[in-house]
Amino acid sequence: MQNETEKKLSFWEAYFKKEWSYTAGGVMLVILAVSLVVVTGKAWGVTGPFAVWGGKLFELFGVSAESLNFWAEGIATYDFFKDIVSMTDLGIVLGALLAVLLAASFKIKKMKSWRQVVAAVLGGVLMGIGARLALGCNIGSLFSALPAFSLHGWAFLLFFFLGAAVGSQMLKRYFM
Amino acid sequence: MSNAIPVTRTRRKAQTPEERRRSKIIQISLGVVVSIVVLFFAYLAQQTNPAGAFIILVGTGFGYTLQRSRFCFTSSLRDPLLTGTTDLTKAVVIALTLASLVFMALNMQKFGMDLKQLEVEKALGNVLPIGLHTAIGGFLFGIGAVIAGGCASGTLMRMGEGYAQNWLAFVFFVFGSMLGTALLNLMKTSPIFWTGTAVFLPEVLGGWIPAVIVQFGALFGLYVAADYWGKKKAGAL
Amino acid sequence: MAERTLDCLGEACPVPLVKTQKALEEMAVGDVLIVNIDHSCAMKNIPDWARSVGHGVEIEEVGEGEWDIIIQKMK
């Protein structure tokens, strides 16, 4: 077993494996988000196209785009490579995969219990509904909204915090 | 801590150094393959969108950064009350402060100091309507993010890391988004739930200076509160 | 000096940290707790928390994406 303080990191460990500090991560996210808004004129978002992706699935089963528009706005004109958010979302998944692979820490992690299945289903649905009602998620209605001096970013922060407090109690009671 | 903690445990199915070395080579090679896939997508995107390659690369940067720093918005708002840790909370406040400064500077550069020149719709970032729908949405989102083990960016990041739980959450996130879109469309017909007004702080407070005081004052207050809470919970105060 | 193992494999954040805190509360000063985890966020937030409280901490990667966090209760 190696001791942390005496352990010397190899080049690979230092640059591809060692976790960054939270603050370094936050600063890097700001730099990326600002470069995105400067180049494209649009702020970083994540969940905007999710409803359309769901709608596309229904379209495959023969539901028409017009009748889906109430559930998935903008589905008729959607184009993956014209939608900035869709592209950065793909990037997030690939970027995280890249980071774990280069750190040699990738492993597919299965779910351990039925509780986790229920948690994922319920949590996913709640996040989906919540993000649409609030006109964005923790990125679109917080990270790209609060710094823009929009009051709805502050409101989202407050109610996210309250929801998280209730969620924590539910997690402790039912999902642990 | 200078001495190793003495442990007598039997090592759990740990890999031998030889297996470890082999898996390291395989994983790093796969990492190189994924880099090529990213470049391929960047090339594809560039065919239809003049900024396509840039956008794909910035997105990849988001994912890489989120994973390497384990940055998690859910944790930043959940852990102060649940576990008493506030390191991430403070990092989020720092990031929001830095972003506020940059957004403000860019807005001023674009529109000048005079707010009359500024059209809120064209202000940088998302200045969007606030109302009861924001409160309900934020609350539901908070519950969901804690239960599912990740917010929107966190879910996508952990999908890349290979967590089945987050893949499942994502599928239902998509369906939930469809329900949410429909629900919002219904709410938009009622003035109780939907006002349609965006509140841009410099506009309602009557200028950049009061807005700066409120915005940065609140962020500073949050930082101090988080720092105090974290130290108190760790027994340092 | 007692030694205890806590299996948190397959558990997502914040479950490993909450369980670690609970386990350490029941242990005596000088005891060692070994937490098995495979959630990449827990390999950062558990050591960060334990250090902030003043416990001794070591991290060992025992396989790809799997870690043992070894904590000695100090107070």
- What single-letter amino acid sits at B2? S
Name all chains with 3 or more CB-CB pairs below 8 Å to chain C.
Answer: A, B
Mean per-residue pLDDT, A114-124: 96
Pick from C57, C60, C65: CB nearest A105: C65
Residues of A in contact with C59 (CB under 8 A): 4
pLDDT given at position A112: 87
| Beta-carbon count within 10 A of B188 CB | 14
Q: Is pLDDT at A68 greater than 60 in this prediction?
A: yes
CB atoms within 10 A of CB B221: 11
E strand or H helix at A28: helix A22-40
Average the pLDDT over A113-126 and give the result. 96
For residues C67 and B121, which has the higher predicted lDDT (pLDDT)? C67
Does A35 score more than 70 pLDDT? yes
Please state, rounded to an integer, the average pLDDT across all residues of chain A: 94
**Which domains are assigned to chain C?**
3-72 (3.30.110.40)
Q: How far apart are CA B185 and CA A73, in angstroms?
A: 10
Which sequence positions of C are flagged as catalytic?
A: 13
pLDDT at residue B24 greater than cutoff 90? yes
Among B21, B38, B178, B201, most A C-beta atoms within 10 A, so best to mutate, is B178
Ranges of beta strands (E only) in chain C are 3-8, 32-37, 56-63, 66-72
What is the structure's pLDDT at A2?
44
**Rounded average pLDDT over B11-36:** 87
Q: What is the pLDDT of residue B44?
A: 97
pLDDT tens-digit map of B107-141: 998 888 777 777 777 788 999 999 999 999 999 99
The pLDDT value given to residue A1: 42
pLDDT at B179 over 90: yes
Please report which confidence band the pLDDT of residue C2 belongs to, taking 50, 70 and 90 as the band edges. confident
Please report the pLDDT score of residue B13 as a whole number.
61
Average pLDDT for chain C: 92
Per the model's pLDDT, the better-predicted residue between C2 and B53 turns out to be B53
Integer Cα distance of A147 and B125 in angstroms: 8
- Does the pLDDT of residue B168 top 90, yes or no? yes
Mean pLDDT of C1-24: 92
Examine the pLDDT at B45 and tell me if it is beyond 60.
yes
Binary contact (A146, B96; C-beta < 8 A):
yes
Q: How confident is the model at residue B11 (pLDDT cuts 50, 70, 90)?
A: low
Q: Residue B73's pLDDT is what?
A: 95
| Alpha-carbon gap: A25 to the closest alpha carbon of chain C (Å) | 13
Per-residue pLDDT at B74 exceeds 80: yes
Please identify among residues 111-150 of chain B the ones whose CB lies closer than 8 Å to any CB of chain C: 149-150
Name the residue among A107, A172, A176 with its Cβ closest to that of C66: A107
Q: What is the pLDDT of residues B140-164, one digit of tens each?
A: 999 999 999 999 999 999 999 999 9
A4, pLDDT greater than 80: no
- Which pLDDT does position A22 carry in this prediction? 97
CB contact residues (below 8 A), chain B span 15-54, against chain A: 23-24, 27-28, 30-31, 34-35, 37-38, 41, 44-45, 47-49, 51-52, 54
- Per the prediction, chain B carries an average pLDDT of 92
Provide the pairing of β-strand C32-37 with C56-63: unpaired
Question: For residue A6, what pLDDT band results from cuts at 50, 70 and 90?
Answer: low
Contacts (Cβ under 8 Å, ≥6 apart) of A146: A153, A154, A156, A157, B96, B100
Contact B64 A106 (CB under 8 A): no
Chain C contact for A109, CB < 8 A?
A: yes
pLDDT at B9: 61
3-state secondary structure chain A: CCCCCCCCCCHHHHHHHCCCCHHHHHHHHHHHHHHHHHHHCCCCCCCCCHHHHHHHHHHHCCCCHHHHCCCCCCCCCCCHHHCHHHHHHHHHHHHHHHHHHHCCCCCCECCCCHHHHHHHHHHHHHHHHHHHHCCCCCHHHHHCCHHHCEHHHHHHHHHHHHHHHHHHHHHHHHCC
User: What was the pLDDT predicted at B1?
Assistant: 42
Instruction: Answer yes or no: do B12 and C48 touch at CB < 8 A.
Output: no
Chain-chain contact of B139 with A159 (C-beta, under 8 angstroms): yes
| Higher-confidence position of B123 and A173 | A173
Give the pLDDT score at B18. Answer: 86
Identify the pLDDT of residue B113. 79
